[in-house]
A = this chain, B = another copy of it.
Amino acid sequence: MDWDAGMDADMGSFKGHALPGTFFIIMGIWWTVKCILKYACKKHKRTSYLGSKALFQRIEVFEGLIIIGMAITGMIGEQFIPGGPHLALYNYKEGQWVELLNWHHFTMYFFFGLLGVANILCFIISSLPTSLTKLMLSNALFVEAFIMYNHTHGRDMLDIFVHQLLVLAIFVTGLIAFLELFIRTSITVELLRTSFIFLQGSWFWQIGFVLYPPSGGPAWDTMDHNNVMFLTICFCWHYALNIVVVGMIYAFVTWLVKSRLTRFCPSEVGLLKNAEREQESEEEM
């Protein structure tokens, strides 16, 4: 994520955690909006262009392009920042691996890139099953969790703990995406997944604040168990905040769809209401 070779920002810095954090917060909010929009439009489906399948397909492709762009930028950044491996994997002279942590990040970006590719392929080739993107999302998250889990060997207690919580958030997100492959789910589960993406993003920021305080002050005492006790509840507070934010987005998007639609075609919506309500209750079951 640190492609600006002029700055000495690698993952071992505040910025190195804030940047992926921002990425996941944006993705989380965006997916939440998209998911609620789809749900709200389904209820009013014959009334506007908003609910059309074509629009959502175009959005998918656009999303895929952005994800690929971000992933490639991240991959290049990880390679060519000062202190990066510059595509060298093994230093035969010194007989040791070159900057493995950067290669770790590189690999994570690569799998998110595959997600973007799957997004676009599903649009171009209509015979591909749509569950493919869900599978690739699940893959990208599991790979991220797996690498993160093996990432913090030999560090201090607090450092390991905050990364373990990150792994927990990532793994749960992957698990939900994986379950969605098997079982038809409701909007509740989808919002749960997007809120966990969001949680991941905000927790990246928290890690940055804990390990590399941007105020320039000293880092937290990484061997003090009270910090672990605090970060346990801090993680829950982040989650509570995310739930509230998702709720606010839900209220806003639902209001927006309803107000825009009723302005243009109030009567038709009224007529459809009964039919919709039945259909809706079936879906939620």
Interface set of A (CB-CB < 8 Å, partner B): 43, 96-97, 100-101, 103-104, 107, 110-111, 114, 127, 129-132, 134-135, 139, 143, 146-147, 150, 153-154, 179, 181-189, 192, 225-230, 232-233, 235-237, 239-240, 243, 254, 280, 284-285
Contact (Cβ within 8 A) A183 B186:
no
Contact (Cβ within 8 A) B104 A150:
no
Contact (Cβ within 8 A) A129 B233:
no
Q: How far is the CB of A176 from chain B (nearest CB, A)?
A: 10
Which residue of B has the minimal Cβ distance to A233?
Answer: B107
Q: Which of A114, A127, A183, A187 has the most CB of B within 10 A?
A: A127
Known pairs A97-B226, A146-B236, A229-B97; A183 contacts B184 (CB<8 A)? no
Q: How far is the CA of A130 from the CA of B186 in the complex (A)?
A: 10
Which residue of B has the minimal Cβ distance to A187?
Answer: B129
Q: How far is the CB of A110 from chain B (nearest CB, A)?
A: 7
Known pairs A184-B285, A284-B129; A240 contacts B100 (CB<8 A)? no
Contact (Cβ within 8 A) A131 B236:
no
Contact (Cβ within 8 A) B147 A226:
no
- Sample of 24 A–B contacts (CB below 8 Å): A97-B226, A100-B233, A101-B229, A103-B230, A107-B236, A111-B236, A129-B186, A129-B188, A129-B284, A135-B188, A143-B236, A143-B239, A146-B232, A146-B235, A146-B236, A150-B228, A153-B225, A153-B229, A179-B182, A181-B186, A181-B189, A182-B185, A183-B183, A184-B285
Q: How far is the CA of A251 from the CA of B236 in the complex (A)?
A: 40
Q: How far is the CB of A237 from chain B (nearest CB, A)?
A: 7
Task: Kindly identify which residue among B147, B154, B227 contacts A225, using a CB–CB cutoff of 8 Å.
Answer: B154
Q: Which of A181, A226, A233, A236 has the most CB of B within 10 A?
A: A233
Q: How far is the CB of A260 from chain B (nearest CB, A)?
A: 16
